[in-house]
Amino acid sequence: MKRTRVRWLVVILLFVATSINYMDRAILGIAGPMIMEDLSLNAVQFGLLGSAFFWTYAIMQLPVGMIIDRLGARLTYTIAVIWWSLCTVLTGFGRSLGMLIGIRALMGIGEAPAFPTNTRAISDWLPPHERGIANGIFGSGVAVGVGLSTPLLAWVINNWGWRISFVAAGLLGFVWVVFWLLFFKNRPNESAITNEAEKQYIEAGKGNSAKQDSVKVSYFQFLKFRSVWGILYGLFSYNYLTYLMMTWLPTYLVVERNMTLLNAGFATLVPWIASFLGNLLGGYLSDTLIKKGWNPIKARKVVLATGMVFPIAIIPSVFTENSITALTLITIAIGGAGLAGGILWATVSDLAPIGAEGKLAGLQNFVGNLAGWIAPVATGALVAYYSSFSIALIITGAICLLASIGYIFLIKNEKIVIPAN
């Protein structure tokens, strides 16, 4: 019997959800110059607005992991996408800084389950040797949502204003929910469109781990393992780069590189195309190493460490007066980091004990998204103080280089084992 390929339909659904997720986050950065002018906001105030989403998003990661492990991906994602899509629409009706901060904070609650849910779905639906490319595919949705949609959103903002762009983007999530409910089940054996050959292939690929009982583990127990500290700081650094660029790159190109908003929208496309390709390549490379017989965690670790070296290219970008050269260096930084971005969540699936994938993913996303509290506000403050983005960009390159070192020396090449009580 020829097996079906429903597992890849699941991956495509996760990719589209991630693209919508990050597009809904990124509109704020694209519309930044117009919002600042319309509401008379300075750089510090806009940085605060950019950070508000992450106040609740990070905190919610802790309970979200437990919710996903108990309720499953299907129900959790349905509620989450409806919630954050509604908040995106409401953002278009914000009339003051305080109102927008409140809406963005509510939006953070809705988006909190996204990546832990992706991780749980991938763990349930794909064998380990396919998880790298699967994570690379859904992870590339970050680049699509942040960058590839930027020219279109910039065009909408330029022609109809920033408010319409939030309403239009928010409506996409409601369409996605229909397809999610039609085609996704929590596990392959619950799916009517997945045949027995594919179900057996998925379970066989998981090997002995599929037969192990789920374990109960607390967040504090996870912190006893040095590998966990490696992935926590790794995501923090990756997110610091991503959120700084997501919030400030279009404004940087307009203010510091003297581009028009529309030109900045198209210029922003370039580094995120590189990120999209980097995500796919990172997943492919790690899966290839595993098929060659490498330990899965070692294979992920090598690609993660390599990817997080590239962001140091952002440092020389501050010393050139040529806009094309600066954009090229930023593209190398973001595209190279995409190698790591493609397997950040596959590494969680490889490390986590069976049944605790959602919880470890939630913990990683909590610590990782503290970067969202810091990067937008710190960048705004540094820009206001120095009247330049230079110091903020140099700090970002250094933060990412430390992550590369951490991946090499902290992550052990073995799955986390929780001692029996």
DSSP code string of 250-295:
HHHHHHTS---HHHHHHHHHHHHHHHHHHHHHHHHHHHHHHHTT--
Question: Collapsing DSSP states into helix, strand and coil, what is residue 229?
Answer: helix
Domains of the chain, residue spans: 6-189+202-410
Over residues 257-296, the pLDDT tens digits come to 888 777 877 888 889 889 889 988 998 899 899 989 999 9
pLDDT value of residue 206: 66
pLDDT for 297-317, tens place per residue? 999 999 999 999 999 999 999
Rg (CA), the chain: 20
Q: What six digits make up the tokens of 65?
A: 């992991």
- Contact between 60 and 107 (Cβ < 8 Å): no
Average pLDDT, the chain: 88
pLDDT at 207: 59
Rounded Cα–Cα distance for residues 198 and 202 (Å): 6
Distance of alpha carbon 199 from the chain centroid: 29
For the ranges 68-77, 214-223, 339-348, the lowest mean pLDDT is seen at 214-223
pLDDT of 44 strictly over 50: yes
Determine contact, residues 306/407, Cβ cutoff 8 Å.
no
> Which structure tokens are listed for 344?
């950040």
Measured CA to CA in angstroms, residue 226 lies from 86, 222, 276, 412, 415 at distances of 39, 9, 30, 8, 12
Mind listing the pLDDT tens digit for each residue in 182-197? 999 998 988 888 989 8
Is residue 16 within 8 Å of residue 190, measured between CB atoms?
no
Which of 119, 363, 335, 66 lies closest to 233 in space, CA to CA? 363
In this prediction, residue 211 carries a pLDDT of 47
pLDDT for 407 equals 95
Tell which residue, 114, 35, 51, has the closest CA to residue 79: 114
Using CA atoms, how far apart are residues 284 and 297, in angstroms rounded to an integer?
14
Residue 149 is predicted with a pLDDT of 78
- What pTM did the predictor assign? 0.77
Q: Which two tokens stand for residue 59?
A: 């905190």
How many Cβ atoms are within 10 Å of 253's Cβ, its own excluded? 24
Identity of residue 258: N
The CATH superfamily label for domain 6-189+202-410 reads MFS general substrate transporter like domains (1.20.1250.20)
What integer pLDDT is reported at residue 312 of this predicted model?
96
Contact of 139 with 269, CB cutoff 8 Å: no
Structure tokens at 185: 């089940």
